[in-house]
Amino acid sequence: MSLYTVLILAVLPASPGQLPPTLELHRTHIPASTPAVCQAYATHLADQQRRLNAALVQRLQARVVGTCEPLAPAAPASAPASAPTP
């Protein structure tokens, strides 16, 4: 199993040629066997957040999307540099 970060975002309308502004509604880390399993869970959470924040979503004319990204493993600690020999 791998660890994933699940982000639920409200994506607001944008002008042509500009990146759309986003609001983070929810973030969590989950273990999942495949990216597809994680994305299915992210989609489920996005549906929940869409219902919970219905008034905000409607007022902002936002789309609610779930994304799933692999959590990068921690970098191994580097060995201390040895002292130069005289």
Domains contained in the chain, number: 1
59 within domain boundaries: yes
d(C-alpha 51, C-alpha 54), whole Å: 5
How far is residue 50 from each of residues 1, 33, 68, 80, 85, measured CA to CA in Å? Answer: 28, 26, 17, 49, 64
- Residue type at position 49: Q
Q: Do residues 62 and 49 make contact, with C-beta atoms less than 8 angstroms apart?
A: no
Q: Is position 79 within any domain? A: no
Q: Is 82 within the bounds of a domain?
A: no
Rounded mean pLDDT, 7-27? 94
Q: What is the residue range of 13's domain? A: 9-70
In tens, the pLDDT along 23-42 reads 999 999 999 999 999 999 99
pLDDT reported for residue 72: 75
Q: Is residue 86 part of a domain?
A: no
Its pTM surpasses 0.85? no
Residue 64 lies in a domain: yes
More confident residue, 52 or 81: 52
